[in-house]
């Protein structure tokens, strides 16, 4: 009987060890419908540990970890909170601020390059920075809503100046997205397509909806410079579309 118990115990432990080692989603909250900033913090900690131990990060090519990465860039994680008008602005603003910090860490974790100066995870990195384009307008809007709510007179010149300055910060953050065209050769063709889709989907919204009265002088100059540097036809097409939108705005 004792020998049988030892065998059963050993067998059970073997299964447990195998499961922990084989289950790539074990330390990630994939069972949750939406991820919070705390969840992203846990994930970022796991990513740092994986990089330190020279382990593969969750990516779309690995069937075991694709679900993890898909959750990382799920825009529902943002919209479920930021579009819920039943939640107070203080809560939504803090959520956005905490998420922005985690987003920056996430970007850093996937921005590594290999010995050939290519992104180690080009498709995943492109998806992450595109996710940032979706998220940041919520972040700025929540901050401005909080400022407006706290102001005695939301139309006062000093308040309006701060609100406009924050919208111009959003424009500058979108300028950072354009900077990656300087490193076009680090991306794969698939990653370039994802990156170009970010230009197509979010820059018109920035110009026409998020910050229509913003200062686009720096972006206009950057677009002109990137048009001289970009080689991929998708990038050139989207850059020209953005330039046309900015030119139309100037004519008005």
In a domain, residue 11? The reply is: no
Q: Which domain holds residue 106?
A: 34-251
Q: Under a CB-based contact definition with an 8 Å cutoff, are residues 51 and 110 in contact?
A: no
pTM score, whole prediction: 0.88
In a domain, residue 18? The reply is: no
115-165 confidence digits (pLDDT tens): 999 999 999 999 999 999 999 999 999 999 999 999 999 999 999 999 999
CA distance 37 to 40: 5
Closest CA to 119 of 129, 134, 105, 132: 129
CA–CA–CA angle 171, 175, 179 (5° rounding): 170
Which residues does the chain have with pLDDT short of 50? 1-23
pLDDT of residue 249: 80
In a domain, residue 8? The reply is: no
In a domain, residue 20? The reply is: no
Q: What is the dihedral of CA 137, 138, 140, 145, to 10 degrees?
A: 130
Count of domains for the chain: 1
Residue 159 to residues 93, 97, 150, 166, 230, Cα–Cα distance (Å): 18, 20, 10, 11, 39
pLDDT of residue 192: 98
What are the residue ranges of helices labelled H in the chain?
Answer: 2-22, 37-52, 66-72, 76-82, 89-109, 122-150, 157-179, 189-205, 217-229, 233-251
In a domain, residue 45? The reply is: yes
In a domain, residue 131? The reply is: yes
DSSP state letters, 119-168: BSSHHHHHHHHHHHHHHHHHHHHHHHHHHHHH-S-TTSHHHHHHHHHHHH
In a domain, residue 246? The reply is: yes
CA distance 239 to 40: 32
33-53 confidence digits (pLDDT tens): 999 999 999 999 999 999 999
CB count within 10 Å of CB 121 equals: 25
HSE-up of residue 238 (Cα within 13 Å, Cβ side): 20
In a domain, residue 193? The reply is: yes
CA distance 32 to 170: 30
pLDDT of residue 159: 95
pLDDT of residue 43: 96
CA distance 130 to 126: 6
């Amino acid at each position: 009987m004792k020998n049988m118990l030892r065998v059963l115990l050993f067998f059970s432990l073997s299964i447990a060890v195998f499961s922990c080692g084989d289950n790539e989603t074990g330390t990630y909250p994939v069972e949750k419908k939406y991820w919070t900033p705390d969840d992203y913090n846990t994930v970022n900690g796991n990513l740092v540990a994986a990089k330190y131990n020279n382990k593969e990060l969750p990516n779309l090519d690995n069937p075991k970890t694709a679900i993890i990465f898909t959750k990382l860039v799920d825009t529902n994680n943002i919209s479920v909170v930021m579009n819920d008008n039943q939640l107070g602005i203080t809560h939504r603003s803090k959520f956005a601020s905490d998420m922005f910090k985690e987003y920056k860490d996430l970007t850093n974790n996937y921005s590594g390059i290999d010995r050939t100066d290519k992104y180690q995870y080009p498709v995943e990195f492109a998806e992450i920075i595109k996710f940032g384009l979706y998220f940041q307008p919520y972040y700025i809007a929540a901050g401005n809503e909080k400022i407006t709510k706290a102001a005695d007179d939301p139309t006062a010149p000093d308040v309006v100046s701060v609100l406009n300055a924050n919208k111009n910060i959003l424009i500058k953050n979108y300028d950072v997205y354009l900077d990656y065209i300087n490193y076009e050769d680090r991306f794969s063709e698939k990653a370039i397509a994802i990156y170009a889709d970010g230009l197509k989907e979010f820059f018109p919204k920035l110009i026409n909806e998020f910050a229509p009265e913003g200062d686009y002088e720096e972006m206009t100059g950057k677009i002109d410079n990137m048009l001289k540097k970009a080689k991929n036809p998708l990038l050139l097409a989207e850059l020209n579309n953005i330039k046309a939108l900015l030119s139309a705005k100037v004519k008005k």
